[in-house]
Amino acid sequence: MGIQEVEILVYGAEQRCASCVNLPSSKETTEWLTAALERKYKDQPCVVRYVDIFNPTDEVEKVFAERVIEEELFYPIVVIKGEIIAEGNPRLKDIYKVMEQYGYKPTE
């Protein structure tokens, strides 16, 4: 089985959520996650994209962003193919596990 290319969405906002004040911002998490995945899955296609919950760009993002706000979820929220993989402080181990379910192979 080959790789099913995934787009990882990191939902969040400029302002950190109240419970996440001491954690990296959603944008910082997006940059950190991009770098970690590029190292782990070198030369394998993967897109990590930040989505501002107060300014989503399409209808799917808008619906999920409203859910984040209404349910008071802790952001950043890492989503792969519509599934929440991490909320608040994401763990790479959890994200790697999902990536490998889609056929990604570690290059380390």
pLDDT one-digit tens code per residue, 21-45? 667 888 999 999 999 999 999 989 8
Domain range spanning residue 37? 12-90
| Single pTM value for the model | 0.89
Q: How far apart are CA 48 and CA 6, in angstroms?
A: 9
1-5, 48-52, 58-62: range with lowest mean pLDDT: 1-5
In a domain, 51, yes or no: yes
Locus of tokens 């859910």: 67
As given in the structure block, the two tokens for residue 62 are 């808008």
List, for residues 57-91, the tens digit of each pLDDT value.
Answer: 999 999 999 999 999 888 899 999 999 999 988 99
- Which tokens in the block code for residue 78? 């890492």
How many structural domains are present in the chain? 1
Q: Is 56 among the domain residues?
A: yes
Mean pLDDT of 4-20: 81
What are the angstrom distances between the C-alpha of 83 and each of 8, 78, 98?
10, 8, 10
Tell whether 98 is covered by a domain: no
In a domain, 75, yes or no: yes
| Position 4 in a domain | no
Nearest partner of 38 among 46, 26, 28, 30, judged by Cα? 46
Return the pLDDT at 75. Answer: 87
Question: Is 108 inside a domain boundary?
Answer: no
Burial class (CB in 10 A: 0-12, 13-18, 19+), 35: exposed
Amino acid 21: pLDDT: 62
User: What pLDDT, on the 0 to 100 scale, is given for residue 36?
Assistant: 95
* CATH code, 55: 3.40.30.30
Residue 1 is predicted with a pLDDT of: 57
